[in-house]
Amino acid sequence: MSFSGYRRAPAIAMLVLFAGAMGRTQVAAPTAAEAQAFIEQAERQLLDLGNKASRASWVQENFITDDTEGIAADAQSEYTAAVSDLAEKANRYKDLQLPADTSRKIQLLRLSLSAPAPNNPAERDELTRIAVSMDSDYGKGKVCLPASGEAATSKPNLSGATRAAGSVKCMGLTEVEQIMQTERDPQKLLELWKGWHAIAPPMRPRYARFVELSNKGAKEMGFKDVGAMWRSNYDMPPEQFSAELERLWIQVRPLYLQLHAYVRKRLVQKYGPAVVPPQGMIPAHLLGNMWAQDWSNIYPLVAPPASNTGYDLTQILQARKTSELDMVHYGEHFFTSLGFAPLPKTFWERSLFRKPADRDVVCHPSAWDVDSVEDLRVKICIKIDAEDFTTIHHELGHNFYQRAYNQQPGFYRDSANDGFHEAIGDTIALSVTPDYMKDLGFINKVPGADGDIALLLKKALEKVAFLPFGLMIDEWRWRVFSGEVAPADYNKSWWELRNGYQGVSAPAPRSEADFDPAAKYHVAANVPYARYFLAALYQFQFHRALCRIAGYKGPLHRCSIYGNKAAGARLNAMLEMGKSKPWPDELEVLTGQRDIDPSAMLEYFAPLMKWLEEQNKGEKIGW
Ligand code: X8Z
Ligand code: ZN
């Protein structure tokens, strides 16, 4: 079998064109068998280059230095070049009638990069260097608070974790996030918020260039722009995907609006109408989280007077002197209780569980599958609290998924769509119920039904509060990639979307001297975000299906599939399919349904919705 694609060097390409025009070069007509062999070879080549790039990125994110950045950028550039080259070669087969698997794999090849590069080495290297440098800058970001109480500054280039220099204390994001969980002084919260957002403006010119270069790559790959390319990865036309998100948001928005109005009312009680406008937007620094994407840390401020969750997982974990390693073992234990094999020995040897004191790392939690087979790892700077107890289940969900599909061909070693990957661990974490707490010996007595509203409110602060955030990030990026939002309007459009979707406001005056989007990891690191919105809905749909398979009859929020092998086997049946089929086929295997169905989430929170509507009588809904 011979392949007759184009060479990259322009001079040679011209030569071939010229020879072709002269009629001296005869290229055999493409065949389906040739296409199949081509894609199988591509699969092998990309697995090899992908593993090398993955190993280089692992080292770069664990030991951020100029050298590791360079090594990671080179490996990514090589991988990106191979994808562009193969995608171009695959064009040769575009008019052929191909076996379904072959054409699916060619399409997956075209979609496999989140930052496609121009087919020109200098621009490609520039793109990968920018991408890696923004990821590193985010990882190195620090908030430096002067002991004197002056305004906070950021020092992205200070190395080391926390360091005290004179009267200035510099902290990494993990520490800042931890303080924001419990700090209630608006002034202190504002300093932390401003300090962290100050890491981003230096990334602005690089980001604008990144958009330019990756758009050029997307166009060469046959897409309108990078956003259109991302939206094409859902087994439907990109316009239909946008319409689908709109359909889903309309169904869950009333629940968000009720939660927003209730939380605002309680925050007005706490901070007064001068800080929180009773009919307006909630200032973004008061919600217990840097990005106001998860409000569960302010649960104590909004807790219902007459209902009690019955336990506080953070307190329990800390009182039991739980270690970082113990936390991960709890997560693994849930999966093995469902029938999944334990994690490999190398997982425990190679993962990062603790924030190192003496070097810069990207602490944003991630799960890795370095050799695409069984070299599974996580990288999490674990805090001993309820939030990270959930995060660990989230990350391990990625790892168990990765291992479940490792027998698939290379292009299918992925989730049905990216929302599935994000939903698996969260689905498991929904089974962390009071009953499960008792099974673990964390509590002696399971709280009665009178604790339900409290439990549901706490969960809604995590899951429902997230929904508009999960949508607006990519709404912003899609507009940026399409050119609808120009660099001169980056920050303005960011806040228009945050205001409009979330009903949260910037806590300090903003201008185009700021670049608030890049203070969020997924923007700096170019990770598509619609996946998390999808996952927020899928996880309830998966949970409901698994609870039914387990024969559970009660309310969804009390269901735990812990230890249920039938549920585990059915989950595995979907996971092991990887990306081999369009996602509706895979959704059907687990749930019997072919559409994303927000009714599971609405059913889960139905008692809370009723309660919120009562609490909000006479309140303005919206802002
Ligand atoms: O990035 C994550 C995971 C890693 S895939 C920790 N999440 C999103 C975020 O932190 O913004 C999980 C929830 C949303
Ligand atoms: Zn994830």
> Using CA atoms, how far apart are residues 54 and 60, in angstroms rounded to an integer?
10
- Whether 581 has a pLDDT exceeding 80, the answer reads yes
> Can you give the pTM of this predicted structure?
0.94
| DSSP codes, 1-22 | -------SSHHHHHHHHHHHHT
Residue whose CA is at the smallest distance from ligand 1 atom 7 = 532
Q: Give the pLDDT of residue 182.
A: 97
Q: Give the pLDDT of residue 343.
A: 98
- Whether 414 has a pLDDT exceeding 60, the answer reads yes
Annotated domain spans of the chain: 5-21+29-136, 142-198, 241-310+465-528, 313-446+531-592
Once rounded to an integer, what is the mean pLDDT over residues 456-473?
98
Residue whose CA is at the smallest distance from ligand 1 atom 3 = 365
Once rounded to an integer, what is the mean pLDDT over residues 178-192?
98
Residue 8 pLDDT level (bands cut at 50, 70, 90): very low
> Using CA atoms, how far apart are residues 459 and 516, in angstroms rounded to an integer?
27
Residue 309 pLDDT level (bands cut at 50, 70, 90): confident
- Whether 325 has a pLDDT exceeding 70, the answer reads yes
Residue 147 pLDDT level (bands cut at 50, 70, 90): confident
Question: Mean pLDDT lowest for which of 166-175, 252-261, 517-526?
Answer: 166-175
Element (DSSP H or E) covering residue 504: strand 504-505
Centre of ligand 2 from the C-alpha of residue 419, in Å: 9
Q: Give the pLDDT of residue 2.
A: 29
Residue 550 pLDDT level (bands cut at 50, 70, 90): very high
500: left (phi over 0), alpha (psi -120 to 50) or beta: alpha
For residue 154, list its beta bridge partners.
Answer: 143
Once rounded to an integer, what is the mean pLDDT over residues 496-520?
98
| DSSP codes, 555-610 | -GGG---TT-HHHHHHHHHHHTTTTSS-HHHHHHHHHS-SS--THHHHHHTHHHHH
Centre of ligand 2 from the C-alpha of residue 399, in Å: 10
Centre of ligand 2 from the C-alpha of residue 398, in Å: 7
CA torsion sign for 182, 188, 189, 195 is negative
Q: Give the pLDDT of residue 308.
A: 86
- Whether 256 has a pLDDT exceeding 90, the answer reads yes
Share of the chain above pLDDT 70, in %: 93
Residue whose CA is at the smallest distance from ligand 1 atom 2 = 365
Ligand 1 binding residues, C-beta < 6 A: 293, 365-366, 391, 394, 532
Over residues 96-120, the pLDDT tens digits come to 999 999 999 999 999 999 999 999 9
> Using CA atoms, how far apart are residues 313 and 331, in angstroms rounded to an integer?
14
When the pLDDT of each residue in the chain is averaged and rounded to a whole number, the result is 93
Q: Give the pLDDT of residue 389.
A: 98
Centre of ligand 1 from the C-alpha of residue 316, in Å: 24
Over residues 587-608, the pLDDT tens digits come to 999 999 999 999 999 999 999 9
| Nearest ligand atom owner, CA of 466 | 1
Tokens, residue 31: 């065949």
Q: Give the pLDDT of residue 152.
A: 56
Cβ–Cβ < 8 Å for 52, 350:
no
| DSSP codes, 139-161 | HH-EEEEETT----EE-TT--SS
> Using CA atoms, how far apart are residues 392 and 621, in angstroms rounded to an integer?
35
Q: Report the alpha-carbon angle 8-14-19, nearest 5.
A: 120
Cβ–Cβ < 8 Å for 206, 130:
yes
Question: Mean pLDDT lowest for which of 21-30, 295-304, 321-330, 435-444?
Answer: 21-30
> Using CA atoms, how far apart are residues 592 and 534, in angstroms rounded to an integer?
18
- Whether 151 has a pLDDT exceeding 70, the answer reads no
Once rounded to an integer, what is the mean pLDDT over residues 142-169?
65
> Using CA atoms, how far apart are residues 335 and 327, in angstroms rounded to an integer?
13
| Nearest ligand atom owner, CA of 467 | 1
Residue 247 neighbours by CB under 8 Å, 6+ apart? none
Q: Give the pLDDT of residue 148.
A: 62
